Amino acid sequence: MEAREVSAKTVEEAVELALNEMGLDRSEVEIEVLQEGKRGILGWGGEEALVKVIPLTPTGKRGTLDSTRGVGSDTESGLPDNTAKEVVEQLLSLMQVSATVEVRQPEDSESPLTLDIDGDDPGILIGRRGQSLSALQYMVNFVASRKHQSGVRVIVDVAGYRKRRQDELQNMALRVADTVKSNGRSVMLEPMLAWERRAVHITLRDSREISTGSVGTGDRRKVVISLNK
């Protein structure tokens, strides 16, 4: 399911319209406020709010690969997990980085598998705030998807960095949510990468009291944690 941009008099109305059209609820999407609604004077000069609603879990067609399941579920020859592993190894070779790559199967049917990279210099693959690691993961998924002509999704981790960072984000999200519940004021987190924002959204998506959304663009996008109204 693709993201949708919807406009209405207020941000809240635009979000509700988008959710109704998509058949999803707030826990299943990321909300980006593109434009705040602006009231006019005596009915003139007003502007509608504009939001972009992005499904957290992309849906794919049943067939050689369902993108909502682990890539290891492909039953045809040339499994995507093997392809992704080969792509990582080829990229490491081109980068002249000595490291080993192991495939870690997902814990449940809805999660992708993980490729664990272990080498002598993990910092060069992780980069500042994990940016190099995110770029590497993007390349792996892009090349593997092109080879299979379908959506392949794997997680790439280096020396356990992503797992540690995810645990940190989950703990932080829960602490901030408790603060928001206590004082009723929304909290805007620091700029994060896309997968980091997703970790926060997923951590809090089952909360009945808390909602999450995203504001900003590019590297400056931030998660906002608020009380449900």
CATH of the domain at 180: 3.30.1370.50
Using the structure block, give the residue that is written with the tokens 């879990």.
Answer: 57
| Same domain assignment for residues 79 and 155 | yes
Does the pLDDT value for residue 11 go beyond 80?
no
With respect to residue 140, please indicate whether it lies within any of the assigned structural domains.
yes
**64 in any annotated domain:** no
If asked whether residues 17 and 35 sit together in one domain, one would say yes
Beta bridge partners of 44: 41
Instruction: Say if 61 falls within a structural domain.
Output: no
Query: For position 66, what pLDDT does the model report?
Result: 37
**165 or 72: which carries more pLDDT confidence?**
165
Q: What is the CATH number of the domain that holds 130?
A: 3.30.300.20
| pLDDT tens sequence across 182-201 | 999 999 999 888 888 888 99
Q: Domain for residue 18, yes or no?
A: yes
Give the model confidence (pLDDT) of 73-129 as tens digits.
333 334 666 788 888 888 888 888 889 998 888 777 667 788 899 988 888 889 888
Higher pLDDT residue, 65 or 192?
192
Query: Domain check: are 41 and 76 in the same one?
Result: no
Residues 100 and 40 in one domain: no
Range of the domain at 6: 1-55
Whether 166 and 153 share a structural domain: no
pTM for the predicted model, two decimal places: 0.58
Residues 91 and 134 in one domain: yes
**13 shares its domain with 75:** no
- The answer to whether position 219 is within a domain reads yes
Same domain for 209 and 143, yes or no, is no
Q: 150: which residues sit within 8 A by CB, 6+ positions away?
A: 60, 63, 64, 65, 67
| Count: domains in the chain | 3
Asked whether residue 60 is domain-assigned, the answer is: no
Give yes or no: residues 172 and 228 share one domain.
Answer: yes
Question: Distance of alpha carbon 5 from its chain centroid, rounded?
Answer: 18
Domain boundary residue among 113, 129, 159?
159
DSSP-derived pairing of the beta strands 187-188 and 155-158: unpaired
Instruction: Determine the Cα–Cα distance for residues 205 and 184; give it in Å rounded to an integer.
Output: 18
Answer yes or no: are the C-beta atoms of 91 and 140 closer than 8 Å: yes
Q: Which residues of 118-153 are buried (b: 16+ CB within 10 A; e: fewer)?
A: ebeebeebbeeebeebbebbeebbebbbeebebbbb
Q: How far is CA 220 from the centre of its chain?
A: 15
